[in-house]
Amino acid sequence: MIPPSFIQDLLGRVDIVEVIDRHVKLKRSGANYAACCPFHTEKSPSFTVSPTKQFYHCFGCGAHGTAIGFLIEYSGMGFVDAVKDLAQTVGMTVPEIVRSPQAQQRAEEAPDLYSVLLQAAQFYRSQLKQAPQAIDYLKQRGLSGEIAKRFGVGYAPEGWQSLQQVFPQYQDASLNAAGLVKQNEEGRRYDVFRERIMFPIVDVRGNIIGFGGRVLGVGEPKYLNSPETAVFEKGRELYGLFQARRAIRDAGCVVVVEGYMDVLALAQAGIEYVVATLGTATTPIHVQKLLRQADQVVFCFDGDGAGRRAAWRALENSLTQLVDGKEVRFLFLPDGDDPDTYVRAHGRAAIETLIAQAEPLSRFLIDGLRADIDCHSSEGIAKLIQMAKPLIRQIAAPMLSLLIRKELARIAGLTQQELDAQLEISTTIKAAAPPQRLTPLPPSILQTLLELVIAEPAAAAGLDRNDLALGLSVSGIDQAELSALDAVLAALTGASGALQLGEAFRGSPHEQFIRQAEAGAMRWQDRALETEELAAELTGAWQQALDRIRRARIGALLEKSRRGVLSEADQAQYRALQHTLNPGAI
């Protein structure tokens, strides 16, 4: 685990405006910066970045977080990778994380492997310039030098130990650990990639982590991928994602194909929102990454039997990652075509038309279940339901699951309740939701107070948390908001420096309240109040909150008196509270 103190120190050193501006162009808007939100489609900017509070918030979709959170959501990084990426930009070293011996070994190997793989990629690129047969092949496939350069395409020459030209220490263990060389039974080393067009595989931070190689001429296998290493895991990575991120955001869509040349051919045609799996079936991690990047994921497969089987595996591995409001679709090309051949024969407009008409996951799922089943017989219906059961139970999107079950119930001639009983899905009938309000409710006094504490933490130093204790367990006071406020005041009291609350409370019960309050704090900043004015607002809100707590406590004491006699302590507290609220009262 990375120490929280390091996270706070890191966030105190990085500038969130600089971090986000590398990916999304920001413009000054009063005290803050603004842009169209990268996480949803909009025409007017609602995405706001606060340089003083060091967090972002979208008033359209609710996206919110720190520089770490932005990298996680925008680039698809994991938490640790995002922390490491930011730490590298400010020259900080992430403290050692307690790992298993195997993970420790991988971590020790990883830094050297990045350097080794980068040197290998540079060597392969230099070799491409000296390989006219490889250049001719790429030209025949319709690729320009610009596309080859953008994706770092290279060439592994013939010869068993060509890499020795760039790695004089050819016996070094890092070459083997990087998946670049192998060793035969006699102990002789040789290059893994020979006489192949080389496609570097890049992670979300831009590091080369492996290679895919296509044989030039006749040979098997046609495509050869790097083995899994300390930095490369096929089930987690996608070819071309690093290069396609901006195009995916702009299109709101990502197309998943099966081959390196498919990605390059579509990019050559101007369709840049494309990635490829790495010789393995689509995994849930792939789908999770892609749904972070876009609202629509389109899997593109050949229309033959193998393509449809691969599509079904992709469907199965997507179910646990589905989100209501986002789409997974399936596109099957005509027999004999792949994306490369199709786009070269028919052009960009034709394949984008097919992408727009891709089959929704719900239809593909239901049609796949119904295939070869006689839905007019009881036996066929029973088989349909049994086949559907393990799949439907995995669907993570509640509304989509409901709609698919309704359609299955219609096909089976069952009621919704009968089908759900067979699928062993328990449903709770909830009361109808009240009509949606046209305007949001104003923030409660506790939320307003929390917003002001975040907007002007220095002014909160004089607030006494003990005054909040009266509100604990008192009806009429929102206990979750009160607990969040108390936790924030406690954290600010114990902090030795600036505190990034969003990260300090990540994963805690208070996280949601604090992130909402951080968004509200931006509105206070937008009012461009002086420090003294903010402090006055904070003092006023504090007094209102305490008065509300005191009145709630008085009400609780009165209710208690109706049920029995108050203790002397209760009576004393009642008099004290009345005097505080009404100093002139006797």
Q: What is the pLDDT of residue 453?
A: 83
pLDDT of res. 492 = 81
Confidence category of residue 482, pLDDT binned at 50, 70, 90: confident
* 204-to-249, 321, 376 alpha-carbon distances in Å: 14, 20, 50
Q: Does domain 372-423 bear CATH number 1.10.10?
A: no
* Cα-only R_g, the chain: 30
Question: Are β-strands 223-225 and 196-202 bridged in parallel, bridged antiparallel, or unpaired?
Answer: unpaired
Task: Give the pLDDT confidence score for residue 394 in this predicted structure.
Answer: 93
Instruction: Name the residue ranges covered by the structural domains of the chain.
Output: 4-89, 101-225, 241-366, 372-423, 445-581
Would you say residue 1 has pLDDT above 70? no
Q: Which phi and psi angles does 76 have, rounded to 5°?
A: 75, 20
From residue 17, how far is each of 26, 55, 90, 230, 418 by CA, in Å? Answer: 8, 9, 14, 33, 54
Q: At residue 479, what is the residue type?
A: Q
* Amino acid 491: pLDDT: 83
**How many CB atoms sit inside 10 A of residue 405's CB?**
20
Instruction: Map tokens 């690129």 to a residue.
Output: 125
- Looking from the CA of 137 toward its CB, the CA atoms found within 13 Å total 19
CATH 3.90.950.20 fits 445-581, yes or no: no
Backbone angles phi, psi at 78, to 5 degrees: -80, 170
pLDDT of residue 464: 80
pTM score, two decimals?
A: 0.65
pLDDT above 90 (res 530): no
Q: Give all strands (DSSP E) within 280-360, no chain letters.
A: 296-302, 327-333, 359-360
- Residues 22 and 91: their CA atoms lie apart, in Å, by 18
Query: Which tops the pLDDT comparison, 5 or 236?
Result: 236
Per-residue confidence at 539, pLDDT binned at 50, 70, 90? confident
H helical segments located in 333-457: 339-346, 348-356, 361-370, 378-392, 398-412, 416-423, 445-455
Question: Which range (90-104, 159-173, 228-242) has the least confidence?
Answer: 90-104
Please state, in angstroms and rounded to a whole number, the distance separating the CA atoms of residues 512 and 506. 9
The chain-wide mean pLDDT, for the chain, equals: 85
From CA 270, how far away is CA 242, in angstroms rounded?
A: 16
CA 143 – CA 200 distance, rounded (Å): 16
How high is the pLDDT of residue 434?
42
pLDDT reading at 120 higher than 80: yes
Residue 236 token pair:
């987690």
**Amino acid of residue 572:** A
pLDDT at 430 over 60: no
Smallest Cα–Cα separation from 229: which of 402, 79, 105, 43?
A: 105
DSSP 459-493: GGGG--GGGGGGGTT-TTS-HHHHHHHHHHHHHHH
* Contact assessment for residue 301 and residue 332, using Cβ atoms and an 8 Å cutoff: yes
Q: Provide the token pair at 254.
A: 């990502």
Between helices 361-370 and 305-318, what is the axis angle to 10°? Answer: 120
Q: Supply the pLDDT for residue 214.
A: 94
Q: What is the pLDDT of residues 211-230, one digit of tens each?
A: 999 998 778 889 999 999 98
Q: DSSP string of 129-156?
A: TT-HHHHHHHHHTT--HHHHHHTT-EEE
Residue-level pLDDT at 439: 41
Q: Over 70: is that where the pLDDT of 436 sits? A: no
**In this structure, what are the phi and psi dihedrals at residue 177, rounded to the nearest 5 degrees?**
-65, -25
Helices (H), 55-131: 67-75, 79-89, 101-128
Tokens 């610009």 -> residue:
146
Name the CATH superfamily, with its identifier, for domain 4-89. Zinc finger, CHC2-typedomain (3.90.580.10)
The string of pLDDT tens digits covering residues 362-412 is 999 999 999 888 888 999 999 999 999 999 999 999 999 999 999 999 999
**Which has the higher per-residue pLDDT, 567 or 77?**
567
Say if 4-89 and 445-581 have the same CATH topology.
no
Question: CA-CA distance, 248 to 254, in Å (whole number)?
Answer: 6
pLDDT bracket for residue 431 (50, 70, 90)? very low
Which amino acid appears at position 4 of this protein?
P
Q: For 313-334, what is each residue's pLDDT tens digit?
A: 999 999 999 989 899 999 999 9
Q: CA–CA separation, 31 vs 324, rounded Å?
A: 35
| Mean pLDDT on 479-489 | 83
Q: What is the mean pLDDT of residues 507-531?
A: 74
Indicate the class that CATH gives domain 241-366: alpha beta
Domain 101-225 sits in CATH 3.40.640.10: no
- Min mean pLDDT across 79-93, 113-127, 498-512 is at 498-512
432 confidence band (pLDDT: 50, 70, 90): very low
**pLDDT tens string 32-44:** 899 998 877 777 8
CA-to-CA distance for 229 and 545, rounded, in angstroms? 57
CB-based contact 343:265 (threshold 8 Å): yes
